[in-house]
Copies of this chain bind each other. A is one copy, B any other.
Amino acid sequence: MKKNGVLNSRLAHVIASMGHTDKLVVCDSGLPIPFGKTIIDLALTRNIPKFLDTVKVILEELKIERIIIANEMEAKNRGTYNSLKKIISKVDIKKVPHEQFKEITRIESNIIFVRTGEATPYANVILVSGVTF
């Protein structure tokens, strides 16, 4: 079996399939996901797994160059916002209104969703893939 990091078979597959600027949305359990998009649904129940734990594990394996979040996260979910900033360290953060965030998830084609059990508001991030060379 796999020794570390992401154990989920579909998520490991998706991460290993990603190229430059491809996008992975890690979302709370309430974000509307456009019909027809690929979803890796990890939500078991309320707050299992947590949004931040999921982002952390993904970033052990995925090289990112920036993230996109909703403006609203900072004011409405400050704990998550502060922790997210620590986890991503020096990567640029683009902030957009939540409505625009959802629009990006609709119009992007190379985008896949990882749904967590998170039950706090605006706990959603778009991870934009970087390259390692």
- Interface residues of chain A, those whose CB is within 8 Å of chain B, are 1, 4-11, 29-30, 39, 41-46, 48-49, 53-54, 57, 117
A1-B30, A29-B1 given; A7·B49 CB < 8 A: no
A-side interface mostly = loop
Contact B49 A49 (CB under 8 A): yes
| B residues less than 8 Å from A8 (CB atoms) | 41-44
Copy number in this complex? 2
Docked Cα-Cα span, A117 to B4, in Å, equals 11
Contact A46 B1 (CB under 8 A): no
Question: Which chain B residue lies CB-closest to A9?
Answer: B41
Docked Cα-Cα span, A29 to B57, in Å, equals 16
Docked Cα-Cα span, A29 to B9, in Å, equals 11
Contact A49 B41 (CB under 8 A): no
Question: Which chain B residue lies CB-closest to A33?
Answer: B9
Docked Cα-Cα span, A8 to B54, in Å, equals 15
Contact A45 B5 (CB under 8 A): yes
A30-B1, A49-B49 given; A10·B44 CB < 8 A: no
Docked Cα-Cα span, A6 to B48, in Å, equals 10
